[in-house]
């Protein structure tokens, strides 16, 4: 009887111990589940905030892109009206990129430029080419803003005037990296200057001719009539 009681108590202790372990494991599992739920909730919240932030950034990027496109369109229109063309020469790769407006100034169709510095130099008038190359070499060496004027020969043989301003930007090691600049078509201005210079030369020549004429001695011939012979030398109408 006592043995059965002890066996029952021992069995009861084992059951209670097992229940205790089970309860402890269950509690720990619930804690982990709640922790996972909290982590999932925080992650979902973070993902929602990230989506909201991403949507906002995408909207800002779209708005900025649209504004940039409008700015580029306004710049392109201003360049067309002012007859200004721009270029960028990547000195490292050798690629020289021109805008359509610049190609038009050199008598080329859109996309007709060769894309190299040599292609540009070949478009310059032979009498001006050496000077342009010298200016570019100076800009490559100093990195300072540079300007100049030169003639270009169009494919149809006509000659046009270009004014340019450009600058070379250096890399971290101090070597030339890229050149950026603008060209302006000034043919009309040059023609007006030549016409004005021609008029000035003609006026100077006319003035010199008039001065020369006034310096020549008078060669008027005295009248041979009887009346003129009777006049005294002091007569207003007498010949000297």
Q: With respect to residue 29, please indicate whether it lies within any of the assigned structural domains.
A: yes
Same domain as 137, residue 116: yes
Strand-by-strand arrangement of the 146-153 sheet = 95-98, 84-90, 176-185, 159-170, 146-153
Same domain as 9, residue 74: yes
The reported pLDDT for the residue numbered 199 is 74
Q: With respect to residue 105, please indicate whether it lies within any of the assigned structural domains.
A: yes
Domain extent at residue 167: 83-192
Same domain as 186, residue 123: yes
Total number of domains in the chain: 2
Same domain as 11, residue 103: no
Q: With respect to residue 237, please indicate whether it lies within any of the assigned structural domains.
A: no
Same domain as 173, residue 107: yes
Q: With respect to residue 219, please indicate whether it lies within any of the assigned structural domains.
A: no
The reported pLDDT for the residue numbered 137 is 96
The reported pLDDT for the residue numbered 15 is 59
Q: Which of 33, 64, 82 is the last residue of a domain?
A: 82
Q: With respect to residue 231, please indicate whether it lies within any of the assigned structural domains.
A: no
Q: With respect to residue 87, please indicate whether it lies within any of the assigned structural domains.
A: yes
Please answer whether residues 110 and 100 qualify as being in contact, where contact means their C-beta atoms are separated by less than 8 angstroms: yes
- For CA atoms 84, 85, 88, 94, give the dihedral sign: negative
The reported pLDDT for the residue numbered 177 is 96
Distance of CA 180 to the CA centre of its chain: 6
Same domain as 175, residue 112: yes
Which parts of the chain have pLDDT scores under 70?
1-23, 26-27, 57, 65-82, 207, 217-240
Helix (H, G, I), strand (E, B) or coil at 154: coil
pTM attached to this predicted model: 0.56
Same domain as 181, residue 93: yes
Q: With respect to residue 216, please indicate whether it lies within any of the assigned structural domains.
A: no
Q: Which of 82, 117, 132 is the last residue of a domain?
A: 82
Same domain as 91, residue 67: no
Same domain as 121, residue 164: yes
The reported pLDDT for the residue numbered 83 is 72
Q: With respect to residue 235, please indicate whether it lies within any of the assigned structural domains.
A: no
Same domain as 138, residue 110: yes
CA pair distance 240, 232, nearest whole angstrom: 10
Same domain as 116, residue 46: no
The reported pLDDT for the residue numbered 238 is 45
Q: Which of 82, 108, 135 is the last residue of a domain?
A: 82
DSSP 94-152: TEEEE-HHHHHHTT--TT-S-SSHHHHHHHB-HHHHHHHHHHHHHHHHH---EEEEEEE
């Amino acid at each position: 009887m006592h043995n059965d009681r002890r066996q029952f108590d021992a069995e009861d202790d084992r059951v209670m111990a097992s229940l205790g372990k089970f309860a402890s494991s269950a509690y720990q599992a619930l804690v982990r589940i709640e922790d996972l739920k909290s982590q999932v909730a925080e992650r979902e919240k973070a993902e929602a905030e990230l989506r909201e932030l991403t949507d906002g950034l995408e909207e800002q990027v779209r708005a900025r892109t649209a504004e940039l496109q409008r700015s580029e369109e306004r710049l392109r229109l201003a360049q067309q009206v002012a007859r200004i063309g721009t270029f960028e020469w990547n000195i490292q790769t050798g690629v020289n990129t021109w805008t359509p407006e610049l190609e038009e100034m050199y008598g080329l169709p859109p996309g007709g430029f060769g894309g190299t510095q040599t292609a540009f130099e070949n478009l310059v008038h032979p009498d001006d080419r050496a000077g342009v190359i010298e200016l570019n070499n100076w800009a490559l060496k100093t990195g300072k803003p540079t300007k100049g004027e030169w003639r270009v020969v169009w494919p149809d043989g006509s000659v046009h005037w270009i004014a340019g301003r450009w600058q070379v930007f250096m890399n971290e090691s101090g070597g030339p990296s890229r050149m950026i600049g603008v060209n302006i078509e000034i043919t009309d201005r040059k023609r007006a200057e030549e016409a004005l210079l021609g008029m000035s030369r003609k006026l100077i020549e006319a003035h010199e001719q008039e001065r020369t004429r006034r310096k020549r001695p008078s060669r008027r011939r005295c009248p041979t009539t009887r009346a003129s012979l009777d006049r005294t030398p002091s007569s207003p109408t007498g010949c000297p």
